[in-house]
Amino acid sequence: MLQFCYTTSNNIKKAWINEMNNTTSRVLIVDDMPVNRLVLSSLLATHGVMSDQAESGMECIELCENNDYDLILLDHRMPDMDGVDTLVHLKKLFSEKGKDTPVVCHTTDEGRQNVNLYKAAGFADVLIKPIEPGELFNVIMTYLPERSEEKKAYEPVVSMTVSEADSRLEIEQLPLWLKTVPHIDLVAGIANCGCAEDYTDALYIFYTSVEEKADEIQSFLDAGDWTMYALRVHSLKSMARLVGARELGEMATHLEKACRENDITSVREDTPEFLKTYREFSVLLSHFAKEEQRTALSDRAESSANDNASDTVAKKPDRNILYIQSGQGVVIKGIENNLEAAGFNVISIPDEPDRIITHRKDADIIIYYPVMSDTAHIGITMSLLGEICQDDNKILCLTGELTDINTAMMTNGSYRVSRCYPRPVDIDQFISDIEYFYSLEMDLQRKKTIFVVDDDTSYLPVIGHWLSGSFNVSCFSGYEEALDGLRTVTPDLMILDYEMPGINGYELMKIIRKTYSETKIPIIFLTGKNDKDHVFHVLENKPDGYLLKTSQKETILDCIHRFFAETMFRLSLKEDR
């Protein structure tokens, strides 16, 4: 599952927090996995609850020292400082502040049997991943302070992933004429798109579609086709926010809401001014048409597609195994010999942190042989390996004496262990598993194929352009085109918009899952819809992710890369493959 969130610099976080209504409930989400933070943040936003995010126990404590929160959602398993250690520090901090903020633990299904232990440790409650929307709602109702019904639902604020200094550097790269264009927030646009080049591409697409989109909206208004009117205004709202056209985005938000509430009088009265504001961008951005040196984005996308075609088959990774052990006993050497006989290149190094860091890039599979002589040292090594395997998408296995393996599995890094092989090791099974892990790593490095389905012809080339640098991307503007594409190619992932004419993304997901049940094509939603009813409606059918179009480029790319990496890790855990 994916969630709508990302880590920002402390300065930006503080600025964002100060801008928000001080009486609005605020939640801190603590999880080392961006994928998990994304889901929780998106779900909270549907209830009008704003959230900050931390990716470690230390960052959580730093935020709590400088800010007050109404609720903390704290992951149990994290590297360096786990949830229990973090809770102990928080309790001390809250005691010094003279307050008692509820801290809810969220943990994997295996922690279900330890619910009473978590509560005994001081957690107010426990949520089991994947977190059900209804369960999260109950926690919100139970632990958040009552809020006035008059308060408006919080709408997610797109905060910057780049520093303020980096923003200024990126703005300097923009053409001079663009810096003088009114009604556009360049800082927000660059933050959303990631860099000046990608922002200019998005703005160019926005500019070239103004007249066509404006005419479409006018035609739906004249025909009284309120369904299509709302769809087009909704699409324009997402695109306006992406490029930093704040005022236009706010006007689109107002008109979409009025249309969906059947306030047709307001729609008819306010649309002319809205379209006038929208069409003005044809003049404000007309300098694009004068730039002879500008390469059309469609041509660049075609060139990128040709590059992708020749790059479809990724370079086969080396069959390297990083073998970490102390000493050279008969058993240790026997495992090394069997791996080499199976065609693997074994890189044997001593159990020393500096040597591990030096060789961390040399292999995608790590085998650790812990030795009980130093329990504290095992903990240090496991924490380091857990962090390395998570950051670099490596597979970690343990072998050795059962007591030593049990000691290692009680440390922070144990959450990244795929398989354990206590002595005496079944060599045939061991080699078979390593071959399987190697095939998983090889598949992860293969350039994946992604289908993107979105009827918004302005946003579609933007997201296609963003993804094409890392994936083989095919874009479809409707469900019929997408289904035709599925008859010839099975993608590794489908990204669907929710609102589309004909059948929406939710209905398309049901068709795909029924028709292609054996291939089990993963589906992630990328949509501008974040209201409670739509989010619950989609998440009840368990898509593989839910992202908002207000997410920045790097956030979207990171979540997709992490999705493939976590899929590989889950497969490595399966005994019945």
- 327 pLDDT exceeds 60? yes
Contact criterion met (CB below 8 Å) for 414 and 384: no
Determine the pLDDT at residue 148: 38
pTM of the predicted protein model:
0.60
Most distant CA pair in the chain, distance: 85
Range list of H helices, 293-426 = 297-310, 330-341, 353-358, 375-392, 402-408
- 17 pLDDT exceeds 50? no
Q: Count the helix, strand and coil residues of the chain and give each as a percent rounded to the nearest 5.
A: 55, 15, 30
| Segment holding 474, helix H or strand E | strand 472-476
Q: How many other CB atoms are there within 10 angstroms of residue 313's CB atom?
A: 8
Binning pLDDT at 50, 70 and 90, where does residue 5 land? very low
More confident residue, 39 or 506: 506
Gyration radius from the chain CA atoms: 26
pLDDT digit string (tens) for 69-86?
A: 889 999 887 877 888 888
Which region among 174-188, 422-436, 461-475 has the lowest average model confidence (pLDDT)?
174-188
The rounded distance, in Å, linking the Cα atoms of 218 and 268 is 10
pLDDT digit string (tens) for 235-287?
A: 888 888 888 898 999 999 899 889 988 999 999 999 999 999 999 998 888 88
Residues contacting 446, CB < 8 A, separation 6+:
313, 314
User: Residue 559: which region, alpha, beta or left (left: phi > 0; alpha: psi -120 to 50)?
Assistant: alpha
- Cα 539 to Cα 42, 238, 455, 500, 534, distances in angstroms: 11, 21, 21, 18, 9
161 phi, psi to nearest 5 deg: -95, -15
- 314 pLDDT exceeds 80? no
Q: How many other CB atoms are there within 10 angstroms of residue 281's CB atom?
A: 23
What is the overall mean pLDDT for the chain?
79
Helix (H, G, I), strand (E, B) or coil at 322: strand
53 phi, psi to nearest 5 deg: -130, 145
Name the strands in the sheet holding 523-527, side by side, starting at the edge strand that comes first in the sequence: 472-476, 449-453, 493-496, 523-527, 545-548
Q: What percent of the chain has pLDDT over 90?
A: 23
Q: What tokens does 484 get?
A: 């035709």
Contact criterion met (CB below 8 Å) for 567 and 448: no
**Mean pLDDT of all residues in 28-45:** 76
Which region among 76-80, 113-117, 120-124 has the lowest average model confidence (pLDDT)?
113-117
Contact criterion met (CB below 8 Å) for 495 and 473: no
Q: What tokens does 572 get?
A: 């490595």
Q: What tokens does 354 get?
A: 């500096």
Helix (H, G, I), strand (E, B) or coil at 184: coil
DSSP per residue over 196-243, as a string?
Answer: HHHHHHHHHHHHHTHHHHHHHHHHHHHHT-HHHHHHHHHHHHHHHHHH
Determine the pLDDT at residue 418: 93
**Mean pLDDT of all residues in 471-497:** 89
Determine the pLDDT at residue 68: 86
The rounded distance, in Å, linking the Cα atoms of 361 and 564 is 19
- 163 pLDDT exceeds 90? no
- 312 pLDDT exceeds 60? no
**Mean pLDDT of all residues in 308-333:** 67
Determine the pLDDT at residue 147: 44
Q: What percent of the chain has pLDDT over 70?
A: 79
Of these ranges, 20-24, 120-124, 187-191, 357-361, the one predicted with the greatest mean pLDDT is 357-361
- 475 pLDDT exceeds 60? yes
Give which of 76, 73, 80, 75 is closest to 101, Cα–Cα. 73
**Mean pLDDT of all residues in 464-484:** 89
Determine the pLDDT at residue 329: 65
Q: What tokens does 175 get?
A: 């053409």
Binning pLDDT at 50, 70 and 90, where does residue 531 land? low
Domains of the chain: 10-143 (3.40.50.2300), 164-294 (1.20.120), 320-442 (3.40.50.280), 447-573 (3.40.50.2300)
The rounded distance, in Å, linking the Cα atoms of 204 and 188 is 16
pLDDT digit string (tens) for 296-310?
A: 444 554 555 455 544
